[in-house]
């Protein structure tokens, strides 16, 4: 969960999000060093009276300022491509869940089970219990087992939506007529919140996402109870 005045990312809950945070820090350090160097050169040029007439014509300087940016781009591109391929790979998922976006709620279907599907609506402010979070709580949470690869199939039935859970490093567009795929793996139990991240109409801010990551034993008990109640 984010907290007031937070400047950084939420705590990582998945290996992908950990890699994204490392990549963010890596890239930010490169940007900081470049900005510091440029600022130092600008200050130097504004404050010193010494000049060298042949500096701007030196072939060595031109070689450096051509090769150095190319090397920096490679240092950024290689880890970025690595993470992109990691996010696309799905190795024998334990479970597949289909999320469908509607105006303005989500519906979920556990495709490995015969009759396990439900709608997930935001709980109105006046119906919240003490301790629940405004605009983030739902009547039916998505319960998933932790430490297991889960495949999410994401689409929409009306307009563009986006299924996003920041602490898991997930953000996938829900497009009508198209089925997008994402992988999630939680390294620890907990309740994780997200929201639709694509402007989808007047109630765009009222379709939250709540994932409850539990042990496999509890998940199997929950799925049996849900199937019996449907």
- Tens of pLDDT, residue by residue over 39-67, are 998 998 888 877 666 666 677 778 888 89
User: Which pLDDT tens digit goes with each residue over 4-39?
Assistant: 888 888 889 999 999 999 999 999 999 999 999 999
Q: Is 153:98 a contact under the CB 8 Å cutoff?
A: yes
- 187-218 burial, b at 16+ Cβ within 10 Å, e below that, comes to eeeeebbbbbbbebeeebeebbbbbbbbeeee
Q: Which of 78, 94, 79, 84 is nearest to 184 (CA)?
A: 94
DSSP β-bridge partners for residue 120: 106
Distance of alpha carbon 42 from alpha carbon 98, whole angstroms:
54
Is the CA virtual torsion 33, 34, 37, 42 positive or negative? negative
Residues 188-200, mean pLDDT to the nearest whole number: 92
What value does the mean pLDDT take over residues 194-208? 91
CA distance 66 to 156: 46
pLDDT confidence of residue 49 = 77
Pair 140, 84: CB distance under 8 Å: no
Top-confidence residue, 228 or 220 = 220
- pLDDT > 70? residue 213: yes
Pairing of strands 105-110, 117-120: antiparallel
Q: How far apart are CA 8 and CA 2, in angstroms?
A: 9
pLDDT of residue 39: 96
Compute the average pLDDT of residues 197-208: 90
The per-residue pLDDT for 53 is 66
Percent with pLDDT over 70 in the chain:
96
**Predicted pLDDT at 45:** 82
Q: Which pLDDT does position 54 carry in this prediction? A: 67
Domains of the chain (ranges; CATH) run: 15-88 (1.10.287.90), 95-229 (2.60.40.420)
CB burial string 74-86: b at 16+ within 10 A, e below? eeeeeeeeeeeee
Q: What is the pLDDT confidence band of residue 87, given thresholds at 50, 70 and 90? A: confident
pLDDT score at 202: 87
- The tokens describing 21, both together, are 């945070």
Rounded (10°) CA dihedral 32, 1, 16, 157: -120
């Amino acid at each position: 969960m984010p907290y007031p005045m937070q400047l950084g990312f939420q705590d990582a809950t998945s290996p992908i999000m950990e890699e994204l945070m490392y990549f963010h820090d890596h890239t930010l350090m490169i940007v900081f060093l470049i900005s510091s160097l440029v600022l130092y050169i600008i200050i130097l040029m504004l404050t010193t009276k010494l000049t060298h007439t042949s500096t701007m014509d030196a072939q060595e300087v031109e070689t450096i300022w051509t090769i150095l940016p190319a090397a920096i781009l490679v240092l950024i591109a290689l880890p970025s491509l690595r993470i992109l391929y990691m996010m696309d790979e799905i190795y024998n998922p334990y479970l597949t869940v289909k999320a469908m976006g509607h105006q303005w709620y989500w519906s979920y279907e556990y495709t490995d089970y015969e009759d396990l599907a439900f709608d997930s609506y935001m709980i109105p402010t006046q119906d919240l219990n003490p301790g629940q979070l405004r605009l983030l709580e739902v009547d039916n949470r998505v319960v998933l087992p932790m430490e297991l690869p889960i495949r999410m199939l994401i689409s929409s039935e009306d307009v563009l939506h986006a299924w996003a859970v920041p602490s898991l490093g997930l953000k996938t567009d829900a497009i009508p007529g198209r089925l997008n795929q994402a992988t999630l793996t939680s390294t620890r139990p907990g309740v994780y919140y997200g929201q639709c991240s694509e402007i989808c109409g007047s109630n765009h801010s009222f379709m939250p996402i709540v994932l409850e990551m539990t042990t496999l034993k509890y998940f199997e008990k929950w799925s049996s109870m849900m199937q019996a109640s449907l």
